Amino acid sequence: MRNIRKGTGESRRGKETILLILNSAKTILIEQGYSKLSMRKVAVGAEISVGNLQYYYPSKNDLLKDLLDHSIDEFMNEFERLRVGVNNDPELHLRSIINFIVLDLGNPTTTTFYPELWALANHDEYADKLMDQIYARVRLPLEDCITRINPKLSVEQVKKVALFISASMEGMTMFVGNGKVWNDSIKQMANIAIMSFLQMVKKITPEDIDKVL
Amino acid sequence: MRNIRKGTGESRRGKETILLILNSAKTILIEQGYSKLSMRKVAVGAEISVGNLQYYYPSKNDLLKDLLDHSIDEFMNEFERLRVGVNNDPELHLRSIINFIVLDLGNPTTTTFYPELWALANHDEYADKLMDQIYARVRLPLEDCITRINPKLSVEQVKKVALFISASMEGMTMFVGNGKVWNDSIKQMANIAIMSFLQMVKKITPEDIDKVL
Amino acid sequence: MRNIRKGTGESRRGKETILLILNSAKTILIEQGYSKLSMRKVAVGAEISVGNLQYYYPSKNDLLKDLLDHSIDEFMNEFERLRVGVNNDPELHLRSIINFIVLDLGNPTTTTFYPELWALANHDEYADKLMDQIYARVRLPLEDCITRINPKLSVEQVKKVALFISASMEGMTMFVGNGKVWNDSIKQMANIAIMSFLQMVKKITPEDIDKVL
Amino acid sequence: MRNIRKGTGESRRGKETILLILNSAKTILIEQGYSKLSMRKVAVGAEISVGNLQYYYPSKNDLLKDLLDHSIDEFMNEFERLRVGVNNDPELHLRSIINFIVLDLGNPTTTTFYPELWALANHDEYADKLMDQIYARVRLPLEDCITRINPKLSVEQVKKVALFISASMEGMTMFVGNGKVWNDSIKQMANIAIMSFLQMVKKITPEDIDKVL
DNA sequence: AATGAATGAGCGTTCATTCAT
DNA sequence: TATGAATGAACGCTCATTCAT
């Protein structure tokens, strides 16, 4: 919801237009993929002229940046809400985070948006940076739980365990996401994930992580 | 390595040209992403004319299909080699599979190629079908190990556990792959994965998987 | 003179550009034939960029449609003017129509444009529909004259006689048209046509038309 | 059935291939029009390679020439057969010629092939020359009949009357030809034509033809 | 007599972008 | 803010043609 050109999107009408643009862009990205995302199609989808689109976003890259920011904000806002009302039990908290993330993979937007983001991150610096930020943010509460459940792990080791858990869950996107073959098994996947990760966090030792074979 | 148009690629020279094309296409896909993959660029990379490229691959989609087939064949061939010399201990076998796959994520080709494939699979039927085939093939030895380690699980449950393990490992691609921030931690990730998955396979009960909360 | 894309050709400049395009297209169609009509050549002829041409006519077919409409409008407008100041004598009116149409065949545009249209009509639905409309319109006054000259003919028979007269005149295009071998004889052709058709309309009986041999 | 490159098409096999080529080309010309006629499509239709096609016809223009020759030969051969068994009555002979030509317009090949030829003749010298030859040949028997029916006409006037009759009949192609709206009325058109032309030939005077208004 | 391989130009079309209004 | 007009490059693709085998 932040655009590039200074002084644009400040009036109420402008803000509405920006929302129309971002929604159009996101729809295209999700339904057709990044390779089919064009300024023209975004303009048509937003029911404005190409000229006007370029008034708000002078270049396609500007639009992409704002689109990524905007899309991620939505996930983040939902994720933050998890915190509220969390009790003090780290194990329970870990369970609820895992549950939330795995079940979120069933969301049709998540299913298609994130693979696009990952592919993009391999070729686009901004997307790459953004990915780092999101997942670092997602790992924060994981790290907190892990530290409390297994205090013997060093800070670095906790980070790696959190990364493992987070990455593992992301990997399920392409298999249990919306419309995917295994979508019906999403609940069981969450169960396996909780069981697997919880056991591991409890039992894992510093040596398990850092041993060299 | 199989081209589309009848009667092309039959001479030695033709076969060489097809290889030049596929290598060029793969390089572009990996270095620049699918959205930048164009017939022109492939032709330039293969040092042939666009006309000649289209002589072998009448449409871009034909090229994409063959490129995916070709690229996946390479992984499959490597994966098949794992089988050879496998001992009878299912736990050891499971360890070696996990180890192989996680470490393969460090391969620069794997790191960038697979996210492209996942994104593609969301919009391209052929890519989707291919993904199903690859991962089904990858899960086969996993399912075999799991069944032998934990005989109490039903066939369906074994499949879900295998899917969980396979998907989890794929998820690490974007984080520990070649050039990624956590690339240095790839060995520890393999350790955590082995520890986590092995424990889970041993301990998990049918009820753990199918319980409804 | 009506373009396709909404919101284009609305400013004075846009309308001028559309005229430049149509003139360029018509010139190429007439001088080189439909098989040589390309968007690029039209753009060069109109001294605009290909991109701008496609801004007005998103597809070649859109341009062709408008070109046909536009070209036919010109003939129609001239043809309508015939009506004005027509006296009440059906025979005289018939003479003047025949004279007008046959002499119009000497027009260089008519000579080359109509054969293209006929060939096009065999493969293009829109051209076919348009042909039907033009010639139905041309036959209207013919049918009126014939009915008044020979009231014994049924409505259907009048239509067939009118069709015969109209079609016969069109057939001369390829022989007495501009630049054709017999172009010098166009006046005599008109004479023969008038004599032939007038006699026939006066003398023909319902039986002559519908007899089965 | 005559090709361009010296020494080709001399073996039995070569002659068969040439026939396959010409049939393929004619089918495409008739079904899709000249603008869609390409060497590639002809080769596919003839089930030979492009290279082999170009062995027989080094250039597209060579193929076109032979195609026109070949197609017109077919009509000519049929037309010559008319002569056989013709009695001495010029009026009867004229009727039979008119009848033959008008009814031939119902032939699907004639319907689509000739408009293509006319359009082509406007831009291609060879097609133009060929048209002259065919129609001059067609007018010969017409001129013979006219001279005998109406001996007062000069040689030049006879030629013009014959041209008028021939051209008139060609004009019906686009209206009563195969698949055309008025195809059902083809018999009545022949009746009207015979009545109209016969009357005219009998009654017309040198003054009718050459008068200047 | 026939094929497969290759080229280079041109095709219709889409694109990001610029700019005057 | 917003539109319509315009550009120039690139896209996937088809084409006529050449040539080695």
Provide the CA B48 to C1' E3 distance, Å, integer. 20
**Residue numbers of D between 113 and 172 with CB closer than 8 Å to C:** 115-116, 118-123, 131-132, 135, 157, 160-161, 163-164, 166-172
Q: What confidence score (pLDDT) does residue D2 get? A: 59
Write out C107-166 in H/E/C secondary structure.
Answer: CHHHHHHHHHHHHHHCCCHHHHHHHHHHHHHHHHHHHHHHHHHCCCCCHHHHHHHHHHHH
Q: What confidence score (pLDDT) does residue C88 get? A: 83
Is the pLDDT confidence value at A7 over 90? no
Instruction: List, for residues B113-130, the tens digit of each pLDDT value.
Output: 999 999 999 999 999 999
Is the pLDDT confidence value at C167 over 90? yes
Is the pLDDT confidence value at B179 over 70? yes
Inter-chain Cβ pairs, chain A and chain B, closer than 8 A = 166
CB C179 within 8 A of CB D170: no
Set of chain C residues whose Cβ sits within 8 Å of the Cβ of D199: 196, 199-200, 203
Band of pLDDT at residue B88, cut at 50, 70 and 90: confident
| Contact, B58 CB vs strand F, < 7 Å | yes
Judged by a CB distance cut-off of 8 A, whether residue C176 touches chain D is: yes
Which pTM was predicted?
Answer: 0.92
Q: What confidence score (pLDDT) does residue D132 get? A: 94
Instruction: List, for residues C46-79, the tens digit of each pLDDT value.
Output: 999 999 999 999 999 999 999 999 989 888 888 8
Q: Compute the average pLDDT of residues C104-118.
A: 94
> Do A197 and B193 count as a contact with CB atoms less than 8 A apart?
no
Is the pLDDT confidence value at C1 over 60? no
> Do A119 and B119 count as a contact with CB atoms less than 8 A apart?
yes
Q: Compute the average pLDDT of residues A199-204.
A: 97
E strand bases under 7 Å from protein CB: 1-20
Instruction: List, for residues A34-92, the tens digit of each pLDDT value.
Output: 999 999 999 999 999 999 999 999 999 999 999 999 988 888 888 888 776 667 899 99
Is the pLDDT confidence value at B84 over 70? no
Tokens read off for C92: 């005289």
Q: A33 to chain B nearest CA, in Å? A: 7
CB B115 within 8 A of CB B133: no
* Residue pointed to by tokens 């009960």: B205
Instruction: List, for residues D167-204, the tens digit of each pLDDT value.
Output: 999 999 999 999 999 999 999 999 999 999 999 999 99
Set of chain B residues whose Cβ sits within 8 Å of the Cβ of A193: 164
Q: Which nucleotide is nearest to B8 (CA to C1')?
A: E4
Band of pLDDT at residue B176, cut at 50, 70 and 90: very high
Least confident piece of the model among A5-9, A102-106, B114-118, B134-138: A5-9
Q: Report chain A's mean pLDDT, rounded to a whole number.
A: 92
Question: Measuring CA to CA, which residue among D68, D64, D58 is closest to residue D4?
Answer: D58
Tokens read off for D11: 């073996």
Residues A60 and C155: their CA atoms lie apart, in Å, by 65
CB A157 within 8 A of CB A70: no
> Do D170 and C171 count as a contact with CB atoms less than 8 A apart?
yes
Is the pLDDT confidence value at A193 over 60? yes
- Start-end of H helices in chain D: 12-32, 39-46, 50-56, 60-83, 90-104, 108-121, 125-149, 155-171, 173-176, 186-203, 206-210
Say whether B182 sits in a helix, a strand or coil: coil
Q: In terms of residues, how long is chain A?
A: 213
Question: Measuring CA to CA, which residue among D30, D29, D37, D22 is closest to residue D69?
Answer: D22
> Do D171 and C175 count as a contact with CB atoms less than 8 A apart?
no
Angle at C49 between CA C44 and CA C54, to 5 degrees: 105
Chains touching chain C at 3 or more Cβ pairs under 8 angstroms? D
Q: What confidence score (pLDDT) does residue C13 get? A: 85
Residues D16 and D48: their CA atoms lie apart, in Å, by 12
Say whether D25 sits in a helix, a strand or coil: helix
Considering CB atoms only, which of A32, A123, A181 is closest to B33?
A123
Question: Measuring CA to CA, which residue among C15, A190, C160 is closest to residue B168?
Answer: A190
Is pLDDT larger for residue D13 or for residue B66? B66
Residues B75 and B64: their CA atoms lie apart, in Å, by 17
> Do A200 and B192 count as a contact with CB atoms less than 8 A apart?
yes
Residue type, C62: D
| Contact, C184 CB vs strand F, < 7 Å | no
CA closest to C1' of E13 belongs to C59
Question: Measuring CA to CA, which residue among D22, D28, D60, D55 is closest to residue D41?
Answer: D28
Set of chain D residues whose Cβ sits within 8 Å of the Cβ of C36: 123
Q: Report chain D's mean pLDDT, rounded to a whole number.
A: 92
| Contact, D205 CB vs strand F, < 7 Å | no
**Residue numbers of B between 49 and 88 with CB closer than 8 Å to A:** none
Q: Report chain C's mean pLDDT, rounded to a whole number.
A: 92
Q: A70 to chain B nearest CA, in Å? A: 20
Residue type, A21: I
Say whether D49 sits in a helix, a strand or coil: coil
Q: B80 to chain A nearest CA, in Å? A: 23
Tokens read off for C128: 């076919």
> Do D163 and C171 count as a contact with CB atoms less than 8 A apart?
no
Residues (53-82, chain D) with CB within 7 Å of strand F atoms:
54, 58-61
Cα B212 to Cα A184, A188, B31, C156, distances in angstroms: 14, 9, 45, 80
Q: Report chain B's mean pLDDT, rounded to a whole number.
A: 93
Q: Which nucleotide is nearest to C13 (CA to C1')?
A: F5
Q: Compute the average pLDDT of residues A130-136.
A: 94
Is the pLDDT confidence value at B60 over 60? yes
Greatest extent of chain C over all pairs of C-alpha atoms, in Å: 63
Considering CB atoms only, which of A170, A188, A200 is closest to B209?
A188
Q: What confidence score (pLDDT) does residue D4 get? A: 67
Considering CB atoms only, which of A34, A36, A185 is closest to B160?
A185
Contacts of C66 (CB under 8 A, 6+ apart): C1, C2, C3, C4, C22, C57
Residues C28 and C34: their CA atoms lie apart, in Å, by 8
Set of chain A residues whose Cβ sits within 8 Å of the Cβ of B116: 119, 122
CB B146 within 8 A of CB B162: yes
Chains touching chain A at 3 or more Cβ pairs under 8 angstroms? B
Residues C135 and C165: their CA atoms lie apart, in Å, by 11
Is the pLDDT confidence value at A198 over 80? yes
Q: Which nucleotide is nearest to A10 (CA to C1')?
A: F1
DSSP conformational letter for D36? G
| Contact, A167 CB vs strand F, < 7 Å | no
Q: What confidence score (pLDDT) does residue A6 get? A: 66
CB C141 within 8 A of CB C193: no
CB C204 within 8 A of CB C153: yes
* Residue pointed to by tokens 């041999």: C213
Tokens read off for B173: 């691609």
Residues B169 and B95: their CA atoms lie apart, in Å, by 13
Q: Compute the average pLDDT of residues D49-68.
A: 96
Q: Which nucleotide is nearest to D56 (CA to C1')?
A: E1
Q: What confidence score (pLDDT) does residue B13 get? A: 86
Q: What confidence score (pLDDT) does residue A17 get? A: 94
The number of beta carbons lying within 10 Å of the beta carbon of residue D77 is 9
Q: A155 to chain B nearest CA, in Å? A: 14
Portion of chain C with pLDDT greater than 90, in percent: 83
B vs C contact (3+ beta-carbon pairs below 8 A):
no
Q: Compute the average pLDDT of residues C102-126.
A: 94
Tokens read off for D49: 């390679």
Residues B151 and B161: their CA atoms lie apart, in Å, by 13
CA closest to C1' of F4 belongs to C8
Set of chain D residues whose Cβ sits within 8 Å of the Cβ of C185: 160, 163
Q: What single string gives the DSSP state of each residue in B189-209?
A: HHHHHHHHHHHHHHH--HHHH
Portion of chain C with pLDDT greater than 70, in percent: 96
Considering only alpha carbons, which residue of chain B is nearest residue A28?
Answer: B123
Provide the CA B48 to C1' E7 distance, Å, integer. 9
Helix (H) / strand (E) containing A101: helix A90-104
Band of pLDDT at residue B85, cut at 50, 70 and 90: low
Is the pLDDT confidence value at D87 over 90? no
Q: What confidence score (pLDDT) does residue A2 get? A: 60
Q: What confidence score (pLDDT) does residue C47 get? A: 97
Is the pLDDT confidence value at B158 over 60? yes
Considering CB atoms only, which of A115, A160, A174 is closest to B192?
A160
